[in-house]
Structure 1
Amino acid sequence: MTAQNGSIGPPEGAVHVDAWEGPADDRFRFFRGTRRGERAAVEIVGFQFADGRVERVAHLHADHIDLKVTDIESLVADLSAARDEIQSLEKD
């Protein structure tokens, strides 16, 4: 499976890809994609598997923050954009 790993390019939209991990018959690697927002940042992250499968999620970076209405509006817009991007990338 290691030879196969070398022939798999990074997932579409990835801006950072970690090294392959896991046992030879079940290799995977973590990746980071687009990040939006500041106070409550939304980042697309996921795992790519040696068979080419990709699983993406939107990760919310926030820790006990108070959001004003404008912050909430920004967060909603960022989450919507992340949803749209994930749906677009997973149509293939």
Structure 2
Amino acid sequence: MQGTLDFPSMKILLTDALFTLIVLAIVKALFINDSFVYALTFLEIAFVVVIRKLILLDTIPEENWTLLILGLISTSFFILIIYIHNLKRRWQE
């Protein structure tokens, strides 16, 4: 309907999709009984929130350090999520 997507419309689409993921993850967390999975779900929510913040930040020179720090935090969250999923898979075997 809009034709080709430009960056501002893709940015709006991505942030809306990530917000929907955040809401779905919070609702999912309400029905979790296992504390380990509960903590992992909130780690995933934090990762999505940081990624959403990275998308919303303007890329101006004054925000370089903020972008770098948020990028490092999101990378560490992603590594933790992968590590915990592998750890949980090993425990189940």
TM-score range, shorter chain: 0.3 to 0.5
Q: As a proportion of its length, which structure holds more strand? A: 1
Task: Give the number of the structure whose alpha-carbon radius of gyration is greater.
Answer: 2
- TM-score, with length taken from structure 1: 0.40
- TM-score, with length taken from structure 2: 0.40
Q: As a proportion of its length, which structure holds more helix? A: 2
